[in-house]
């Protein structure tokens, strides 16, 4: 029974309560939200980004061509170019199954070319079944120059290939194919279906660009003297200006990032979806698996100055130094930045806080109205977390960014997490959270948890599920809110929950009381499995517990084994109180009865293996 008192006053819920967190993880940017269809357009892929990469990744050469890094390059930041011999061609395979084109839609091709004695570039778009658009020819001659052509697709295909062929020797760089039909028709824009799915959430803020992404190499010097080496830290200034002048970089998540989707595009996207931009800058204390804090004061001061410049880029008048850069990129009006995060999951709380204070002092001195957000480290409990919160509280921090990824049970059992938070302390920005799984039960647990966030909306001011996007063929992290490949996108059940809450933000909480406690102790139904890669094996005393210790399954095989199913063949039977594989199948998986679909659980499995290897 639930009792409501409509006259009682609960917390006021801010309109800005729910937003999204975009990180370039799972190829969320290149091959994802950024609409560019050519992969490795500037031949900058490198083994420094990923051991399997070469500068010709995603390209096939017909004839002779070499990737060259010499003084003939397009510019200092765009190191490599392709030297194509006469009567040779290069073909790009795009992302996933290839380049996606839709019948009747227009596609803008562009290339930077240098051809001393002139060449004809023949540009074609094909798949295995033939032409996807009428072939284009471009005459190129002389020093580096950008050439363009437009295609109208005559068929729909997910397997397109873009080929550029030269009659005479030519240097090529920044080979690009962009759909004309981008989100809000913005140039250098975003993939429409993905951007519209995010827009449909009605997010109040967009946190970007990370996540661990912002911690990449943040200890390293990033002067131009470093020669635009990869694994430079993620610097917002590297991500703006003409795309051909943005140096690509190694992405924290093991691939290359072109920065085609850069800070200008992030701010513009936030504006286009009606959200406030919420950038996160590196604090020079690297979390995300690295425990280091810089002692290089000059480097720290440079990052602090960069942060001030970022605020000017977002908010400064069009005649200020960085406001002018924004205006020249096409946005004379400010982007209305009000919040900025310093650091992400910093697990050295004392070192972090000392540096955070320097950032905050500099920002507040120049921009007293900006909310500077601190963080509580990578863990949501424990000494590091307690120390971080103590420092944040004692240091009168405005807002603290908390992150956690836990089981659905945890979310059900911790609905009251914020009931006991200090009302006089810093506000909470729940910058990243998700229950581990993409099933309906995960979404339900998250929805239940979000009622706890709202009940505590006087403390919890901002919340964003994470990660936002995942390309199904390049996954580093799951669960994710929105999934896609090169031609389709689909929201998870969690996406629907987020959409429901974000589109129905209340004004204030009506306090309520339930007269019975929901039973959150039982197992969540679904399948759990054990795998063997053995020629024969036997198991006894199988026990599966959730991370919080809840027993999900316990079987000593004293009875029958009918609750187990097999995936992958093989025969098993109960013999002398053990579950025994009785044939010599090379691989077996036994799965508990019920829906045998694999799901993500945070499980602790204990079993006694009696025999076999
Ligand atoms: O959301 C994925 C990752 O989870 C983020 O990069 C990081 O902040 C967290 O550990």
Name the domain boundary from 181, 208, 238.
181
Measured over the CA atoms of residue 247, residue 251, residue 257 and residue 263, the dihedral's sign is negative
**Is 344 close to ligand 1, i.e. is its CB under 6 Å away?**
yes
Mutate to test the pocket of ligand 1, among 207, 208, 254, 345 (most ligand atoms within 8 A of CB): 345
Is 560 contained in some domain? Answer: yes
**Is 401 close to ligand 1, i.e. is its CB under 6 Å away?**
no
Catalytic residue among 265, 345, 402, 446: 345
Both tokens of 28, joined, read 């969320």
| Burial class for 458, CB neighbours closer than 10 Å (0-12, 13-18, 19+) | middle
Complex-level ipTM beyond the 0.95 threshold:
yes
- Which atom of ligand 1 is the closest one to the Cα of 345? 8
pLDDT at res. 587: 44
- Which atom of ligand 1 is the closest one to the Cα of 477? 2
Q: In 261-370, which ranges are E strands?
A: 276-281, 285-286, 292-293, 339-342
**Is 211 close to ligand 1, i.e. is its CB under 6 Å away?**
yes
Task: State the Cα–Cα distance between residues 612 and 548, nearest whole angstrom.
Answer: 31
Whichever domain contains 353, its CATH number is 3.20.20.80
Residues 424 and 359 in one domain: yes
Residue 66 has pLDDT above 70, yes or no: yes
494 Cα to the center of ligand 1, angstroms: 17
pLDDT at res. 492: 97
Both tokens of 566, joined, read 């097999």
If pLDDT is split at 50, 70 and 90, which confidence band does 161 have?
Answer: very high
Find the Cα–Cα–Cα–Cα dihedral 402, 403, 406, 412, rounded to 10°.
Answer: 40
Mutate to test the pocket of ligand 1, among 288, 341, 343, 494 (most ligand atoms within 8 A of CB): 288
User: Which residue has a Cα nearest atom 7 of ligand 1?
Assistant: 211
If pLDDT is split at 50, 70 and 90, which confidence band does 80 have?
Answer: very high
Is 554 contained in some domain? Answer: yes
**Is 20 close to ligand 1, i.e. is its CB under 6 Å away?**
no
Task: State the Cα–Cα distance between residues 362 and 301, nearest whole angstrom.
Answer: 10
Beta bridge partners of 165: 89, 122
Task: State the Cα–Cα distance between residues 368 and 353, nearest whole angstrom.
Answer: 19
| Residue appearing with tokens 């429409």 | 192
Is 3 contained in some domain? Answer: no
Residues 146 and 259 in one domain: no
Residues 438 and 379 in one domain: yes
Residues 477 and 466 in one domain: yes
**Is 133 close to ligand 1, i.e. is its CB under 6 Å away?**
no
DSSP secondary structure of 206-221? EEES-SGGGGTTTTS-
Alpha carbon of residue 454 to chain centroid: 25
Q: Taking Cα atoms as reference points, which of 218, 476, 462, 250 lies closest to residue 344? A: 218
Question: What is this structure's pTM?
Answer: 0.85
Is 445 contained in some domain? Answer: yes
Between these two residues, 190 and 579, which has the higher pLDDT value?
190
Residue 1 annotated as catalytic: no
Residues 122 and 106 in one domain: yes
Residues 251 and 365 in one domain: yes
- Cβ atoms of 83 and 171 closer than 8 Å: yes
User: Which residue has a Cα nearest atom 5 of ligand 1?
Assistant: 211
Name the domain boundary from 459, 479, 514.
514
Mutate to test the pocket of ligand 1, among 28, 212, 285, 402 (most ligand atoms within 8 A of CB): 212
- Cβ atoms of 386 and 296 closer than 8 Å: no
Taking CA atoms, 359 is separated from 213, 342, 352, 366, in Å, by: 19, 8, 11, 11
Residues 73 and 125 in one domain: yes
Whichever domain contains 90, its CATH number is 2.60.120.260
Long-range Cβ contacts of 241-244 (<8 Å, 24+ apart)? 241/325, 241/329, 243/174, 243/188, 244/42, 244/74, 244/75, 244/78, 244/112, 244/146, 244/173, 244/174
Taking CA atoms, 338 is separated from 16, 227, 275, in Å, by: 12, 34, 11
Query: What pairing do the DSSP bridges indicate for beta strands 205-208 and 276-281?
Result: parallel
User: Which residue has a Cα nearest atom 6 of ligand 1?
Assistant: 211
User: Which residue has a Cα nearest atom 8 of ligand 1?
Assistant: 211
Q: Taking Cα atoms as reference points, which of 358, 249, 256, 351 lies closest to residue 303? A: 358
Taking CA atoms, 595 is separated from 48, 521, 568, 598, in Å, by: 42, 21, 15, 9
149 Cα to the center of ligand 1, angstroms: 40
Is 429 contained in some domain? Answer: yes
**Omega into 479 within 30° of 0, i.e. cis?**
yes
Task: State the Cα–Cα distance between residues 81 and 69, nearest whole angstrom.
Answer: 7
Q: Taking Cα atoms as reference points, which of 21, 77, 47 lies closest to residue 212? A: 21
608 Cα to the center of ligand 1, angstroms: 35
502 Cα to the center of ligand 1, angstroms: 22
Q: Taking Cα atoms as reference points, which of 194, 188, 191, 193 lies closest to residue 176? A: 188
Residues 197 and 177 in one domain: no
DSSP secondary structure of 250-289? E-TTSSEE--SS-HHHHHHHHHHTT-EEEEEE--SEE-TT
Quick one: average pLDDT of 89-95? 98
User: Which residue has a Cα nearest atom 3 of ligand 1?
Assistant: 211
261: phi then psi, degrees, rounded to nearest 5: -95, 100
Residues 172 and 310 in one domain: no
For 303-323, how does the pLDDT look when each residue is reduced to its tens digit (9 = 90+)? 999 999 999 999 999 999 999
If pLDDT is split at 50, 70 and 90, which confidence band does 520 have?
Answer: low
pLDDT at res. 8: 87
211 Cα to the center of ligand 1, angstroms: 5
Is 456 contained in some domain? Answer: yes
Beta bridge partners of 110: 148, 176
Q: In 5-135, which ranges are E strands?
A: 20-21, 59-62, 65-68, 81-84, 88-92, 99-101, 106-127, 130-131
Task: State the Cα–Cα distance between residues 354 and 366, nearest whole angstrom.
Answer: 19
For 252-307, how does the pLDDT look when each residue is reduced to its tens digit (9 = 90+)? 899 999 999 999 999 999 999 999 999 999 998 877 877 788 889 998 999 999 99
User: Which residue has a Cα nearest atom 9 of ligand 1?
Assistant: 211
What is the DSSP-derived secondary structure letter of residue 380?
S
Task: State the Cα–Cα distance between residues 528 and 178, nearest whole angstrom.
Answer: 44
> Domains in the chain: how many in total?
3
Residues 228 and 172 in one domain: no
Name the domain boundary from 181, 201, 233.
181
**Is 467 close to ligand 1, i.e. is its CB under 6 Å away?**
yes
| Burial class for 425, CB neighbours closer than 10 Å (0-12, 13-18, 19+) | middle
282 Cα to the center of ligand 1, angstroms: 14
Task: State the Cα–Cα distance between residues 245 and 173, nearest whole angstrom.
Answer: 11
Alpha carbon of residue 127 to chain centroid: 30
Residue 596 has pLDDT above 80, yes or no: no
For 421-467, how does the pLDDT look when each residue is reduced to its tens digit (9 = 90+)? 999 999 999 999 999 999 999 999 999 999 999 999 999 999 999 99
The residue range of the domain holding 112 is 59-181
429 Cα to the center of ligand 1, angstroms: 15
Residues 415 and 550 in one domain: no
Both tokens of 322, joined, read 């960085």
Task: State the Cα–Cα distance between residues 267 and 335, nearest whole angstrom.
Answer: 7
- Which atom of ligand 1 is the closest one to the Cα of 466? 1
Residues 489 and 579 in one domain: no
For 523-571, how does the pLDDT look when each residue is reduced to its tens digit (9 = 90+)? 444 455 555 443 445 667 777 666 566 666 677 777 666 666 655 556 6
Task: State the Cα–Cα distance between residues 94 and 91, nearest whole angstrom.
Answer: 9
Is 53 contained in some domain? Answer: no
**Is 477 close to ligand 1, i.e. is its CB under 6 Å away?**
yes
- Which atom of ligand 1 is the closest one to the Cα of 431? 8
3 state SS of 448: helix
For 211-250, how does the pLDDT look when each residue is reduced to its tens digit (9 = 90+)? 999 987 666 766 554 555 556 778 899 999 999 999 898 8
Is 548 contained in some domain? Answer: yes
b/e map 1-39, b = 16+ CB within 10 Å? eeeeeeeeebbebbebbbbbbbbbbbbbbbbbbbbbbbb
Q: Taking Cα atoms as reference points, which of 380, 406, 383, 404 lies closest to residue 547? A: 406
Cβ atoms within 10 Å, residue 562: 8
Both tokens of 313, joined, read 């880029």
Taking CA atoms, 454 is separated from 26, 406, 495, in Å, by: 30, 19, 18
């Amino acid at each position: 029974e639930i009792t409501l008192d409509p006259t009682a006053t609960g917390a006021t819920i801010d309109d800005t309560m729910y937003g999204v967190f975009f990180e370039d993880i799972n190829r969320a940017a290149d091959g994802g939200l950024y609409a560019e269809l050519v992969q490795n357009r500037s031949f900058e892929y490198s083994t420094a980004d990923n051991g399997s990469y070469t500068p010709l990744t995603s390209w096939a050469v017909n004839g002779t061509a070499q990737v060259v890094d010499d003084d003939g390059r397009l510019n200092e930041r765009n190191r490599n170019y392709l030297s194509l011999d006469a009567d040779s061609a290069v073909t790009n395979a795009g992302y996933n199954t290839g380049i996606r084109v839709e019948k009747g839609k227009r596609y803008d091709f562009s290339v930077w070319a240098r051809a001393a004695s002139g060449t004809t570039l023949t540009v074609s778009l094909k798949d295995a079944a033939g032409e996807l658009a009428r072939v284009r020819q471009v005459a190129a001659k002389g020093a580096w120059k950008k050439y363009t052509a437009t295609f109208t697709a005559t068929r729909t295909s997910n397997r397109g290939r873009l080929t550029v062929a030269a009659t005479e020797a030519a240097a090529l760089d920044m080979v690009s194919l962009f759909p004309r039909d981008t989100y809000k028709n913005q140039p250098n824009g975003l993939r429409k279906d993905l951007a519209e799915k995010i827009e449909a959430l009605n997010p109040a803020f967009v946190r970007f660009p990370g996540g661990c992404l912002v911690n990449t190499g943040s200890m390293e010097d990033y002067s131009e003297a470093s020669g635009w080496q990869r694994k430079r830290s993620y610097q917002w200034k590297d991500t703006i200006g003409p795309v051909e002048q943005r140096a690509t970089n190694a992405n924290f998540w093991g691939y290359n990032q072109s920065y085609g989707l850069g800070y200008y595009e992030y701010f513009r996207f936030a504006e286009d979806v009606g959200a406030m931009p919420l950038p996160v800058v590196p604090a020079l204390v690297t979390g995300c698996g690295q425990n280091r804090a810089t002692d290089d004061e000059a480097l720290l001061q440079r990052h602090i100055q960069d942060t001030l410049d970022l605020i000017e880029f977002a908010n400064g008048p069009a005649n200020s130094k960085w406001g002018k850069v924004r205006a020249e990129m096409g946005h004379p009006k400010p982007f209305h930045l009000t919040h900025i995060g310093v650091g992400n999951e910093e697990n050295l709380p004392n070192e972090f806080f000392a540096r955070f204070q320097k950032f905050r002092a500099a920002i507040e001195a120049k921009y007293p109205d900006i909310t500077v957000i601190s963080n509580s480290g990578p863990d949501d409990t424990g000494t590091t977390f307690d120390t971080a919160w103590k420092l944040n509280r004692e240091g009168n921090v405005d807002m603290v960014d908390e992150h956690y990824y836990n089981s659905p049970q945890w979310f059900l059992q911790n609905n009251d997490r914020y009931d006991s938070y200090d009302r006089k302390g810093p506000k909470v920005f729940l910058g990243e959270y998700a229950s581990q799984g993409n099933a309906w039960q995960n979404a339900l647990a998250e929805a239940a948890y979000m009622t706890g966030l709202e009940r505590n909306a006087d403390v919890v001011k901002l919340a964003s599920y994470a990660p936002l996007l995942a390309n199904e063929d390049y996954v580093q992290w799951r669960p994710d809110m929105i999934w896609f490949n090169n031609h389709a996108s689909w929201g998870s059940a969690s996406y629907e929950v987020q959409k429901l809450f974000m589109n129905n933000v209340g004004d204030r909480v009506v306090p309520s009381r339930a007269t019975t406690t929901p039973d959150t102790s039982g197992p969540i139904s679904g399948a759990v499995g054990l795998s063997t890669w053995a020629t024969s094996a036997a198991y006894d005393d199988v026990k599966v517990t959730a991370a919080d210790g809840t027993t999900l399954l316990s079987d000593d095989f004293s009875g029958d084994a009918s609750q187990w199913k097999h995936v992958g063949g093989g025969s098993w039977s109960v013999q002398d109180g053990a579950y025994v594989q009785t044939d010599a199948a090379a691989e077996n998986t036994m799965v508990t009865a019920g829906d045998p679909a694999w799901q993500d659980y945070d499980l602790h499995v204990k079993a006694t293996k009696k025999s076999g290897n």
